[in-house]
Chain A
Amino acid sequence: MTTSIQTRKGVSCQGLTKDYGRGDARVRALRGVDLDISPGELTLLVGPSGCGKTTLISILAGTLDPTDGDVSVLGVDIKSLSKHEKAACRAKNVGFVFQQFNLLPSLTAAENVSVPLVINGYSKTKAVAHAIEVLKSVGLSERIHSLPSQLSGGQQQRVAIARALVHQPRLLVADEPTSAIDARTGHAIMELIREVALQPDRVAVAVTHDSRVYGFADRIITLEDGRVAQEKHVKPEVTNGLFAPV
């Protein structure tokens, strides 16, 4: 790796724009986003449908190239990285939680969780042994050898969270992690993200539609029409696993 990750740095962007398509078909998804996200906080990205949340989080995670503007993730200017370097950077530093979980259906829970380690060059045995430890920490010690199809939505999302954390990434991104599961389970998932995922030097960003989970956030950034409309620090209202809606 030619890039060095700086522990204290979070994520910042200036004048970030993103256009999809060309000519008449051009869609301006981001129209100049300025943003600073610090480590050690859970930041929620909210806003109406189509306002650019997924686009923004994809750029931050390094899976999508911005059209213009500066993005620095963990001290690295991601625009300076080649496609291959970006993939290597994601493998090492980014944990993903997807709305549809995106588990590999023919791999067991433990094998699914081991994938990021395997991508980082671990042997299968070592990776799976480590994955089992992480699965225990998300409360799934009973379902280690289950296939995704044998798990409930909430359990699948727990596996996905374990997978996102197994390689100790510096950046955790989650796009609508609770919208494919029922509200109760959604709360449990958000709690898990707060408890397990949130580390002093980890940047955690979650996109959500679901105003009932706002209470888990340290910070809520509202996007509207491709711009940051509102940004506020909040005191998380979660204590001892109890959740109070805003």
Chain B
Amino acid sequence: MTWIALKMLMGDKSKYFAIVFGVSFACFLIAEQSAIFCGVMLRTTSQIRDTHGGDIWVMNSDVRYVDDLKPISDDDLYRVRSVPGVAWAVNLYRGQGQAQLANGTYQGLILMGLDDASLTGAPTHMLVGKIGDLQIPDAILVDEAGFYQMWPGESLRTGKVIEMNQRRAVVVGVYRASQTFMTMPIIYTRFSQATLFVPPTPTGRLMPFVLAKVQPGMDSSDVAERIHDRTGLKALTNEGFMQLTMTYYLQHTGIPLNFGTTVVLAFLVGSAIAGQTFYLFTVENLKQFGTLNAMGMSDRRIVSMILIQGFVVGGIGYGVGVGLATLYGIFSQSAMPLLAFFLPWQVLAVTAVAMIFIVMMASLLSIRRVLVLEPAVVFQGGA
């Protein structure tokens, strides 16, 4: 029976190609749009992912996302260190600063202050200079994109000078950051240095985060919960903080909504194309199914033939579509580094589920047409 189903499907090469193309295109569209959506969502968390070394972020209990900067007190660092299960904890400054460039223009920027002794959370991908040079007085690291933003046309190098809060800062290194949502340069310096680069706050509090490492063998989320219980602060694992940030962006900004709309559109257009092609294919085969039914093929076998055809088309289309989406991702990453593209297994799974759903729907619709067809109609020859 299967061979008849497959021959019916593949017999007319051009028709077969058209169906596979339609379904592949639909899969590609869904996977690609979802991957761009994921890429955009991922960008909201790039600052968290770029901060290596710690397991847990401790912050003011009102913080809603990574750029929601609310200081905690210096004492909190010691309270976190005293929580059982915490191997070590360091402070991490994050704030917005403003730089005055040599030519007099101003540039807003994000200022990161790392623990003076350990430099925990420093960038890992250095392009020029080395992280250790941050120990030099007034030293800063600047990200590649930020460097070009402040000094367009110049090649990456150390020794550039900016002024923050009327203090000189010298670039001792350039690093590569993950793409973020913001377009501001991200400057790294030592914590003690950072406090000098921003004007004093009314409360005198400066430290938005504590980065904690859990002791080996301990579960990060357990320790995070314990920190929260003991200090009343918000304590989240890296994943938890990313989740919080993404959820905030999803719920409170229009950006995911706009991208989400394209994803939904891709789903609709994809479903329409894939469903329509497959449905039309089966409807064109109504006469053949009717003939088989007249000759005594049971409804169950006809249904399974249509399902086999659906799953073969769906499977091939899925493979080709997802393959194309992956190629597109690889290509776009090198050709258009600014394009957000992230294809996690979840997108593949969602695309697969969508494909199964579409194929099932189209099959069910066409099966209905086949089953209500009176076998007698095939005598008339018109069916």
Contact = CB atoms under 8 A, between A and B. Distances in A.
Interface in B1-25: 1, 3-4, 7-8, 10-12
A111 B12 CA distance: 16
Interface string A113-150: 00110111000100000000000000000000000000
Interface string B276-302: 000000000001100111111111010
Interface string A148-180: 000000000000000000000000000100001
Given A104-B4, A107-B11, A124-B3, A119 B295 contact: yes
A87 B300 CA distance: 11
Given A54-B379, A58-B379, A118 B296 contact: no
Contact of A118 (B4, B10, B294, B380): B4
A93 B43 CA distance: 68
Contacts of B376: 54-55, 58, 63-64
A91 B301 CA distance: 13
Residue with the greatest number of chain A CB neighbours at <10 A, chosen from B4, B10, B11, B287: B4
A116 B374 contact: no
A192 interface: no
A92 interface: yes
Interface residues of A, number: 34
A58 B376 CA distance: 6
B11 A87 contact: no
Contact of B11 (A54, A106, A116, A180): A106
Contacts of A92: 296
Contacts of B379: 54, 57-58, 63, 98-99, 175
Contacts of A58: 375-376, 379
Given A54-B379, A107-B7, A87 B293 contact: yes
Dominant secondary structure of chain A at its interface with chain B? helix
A119 B297 contact: yes
A80 interface: no
Nearest to A163: B295
B4 A107 contact: yes
Interface in B360-383: 374-376, 378-381
A142 B8 CA distance: 24
Contacts, number: 89
Given A58-B376, A98-B379, A104-B288, A84 B296 contact: no
A151 to B, nearest CB: 15
B186 to A, nearest CB: 61
Contacts of A200: none
A94 interface: yes
A102 B301 CA distance: 19
Contacts of B3: 124
Determine which residue in B4, B12, B296 has the highest number of CB atoms from chain A within 10 A of its CB, and name it: B296
A105 B11 CA distance: 8
Contacts of A64: 374-376
Contact of A104 (B8, B10, B375): B8
Interface string B297-314: 111010000000000000
B380 A91 contact: no
Of A87, A105, A124, which is in contact with the most chain B CB atoms at under 10 Å from its CB? A87
A79 interface: no
A30 to B, nearest CB: 13
B242 to A, nearest CB: 52
A139 B8 CA distance: 26
A100 interface: yes
A180 B379 CA distance: 13
Interface string B129-140: 000000000000
A28 interface: no
Nearest to A95: B295
A175 B377 CA distance: 12
Interface string A40-69: 000000000000001101100101100000
B164 to A, nearest CB: 74
Contacts of A124: 3
A63 B380 contact: no
Contact of A98 (B291, B298, B374): B291
A90 B299 CA distance: 13
B381 A106 contact: no
18 contacts: A54-B380, A63-B379, A64-B376, A87-B299, A88-B296, A90-B296, A94-B295, A96-B291, A96-B294, A102-B378, A104-B288, A104-B291, A105-B12, A106-B8, A106-B12, A107-B11, A116-B296, A119-B296
Given A88-B298, A104-B292, A116-B295, 7 more contacts: A63-B376, A63-B378, A91-B297, A104-B291, A106-B11, A119-B301, A175-B379
Interface of B: 1, 3-4, 7-8, 10-12, 287-288, 291-299, 301, 374-376, 378-381
Sorted nearest first, the 7 A-B pairs with minimum C-beta distance are: A106-B11, A91-B296, A90-B296, A58-B376, A100-B381, A63-B375, A64-B376
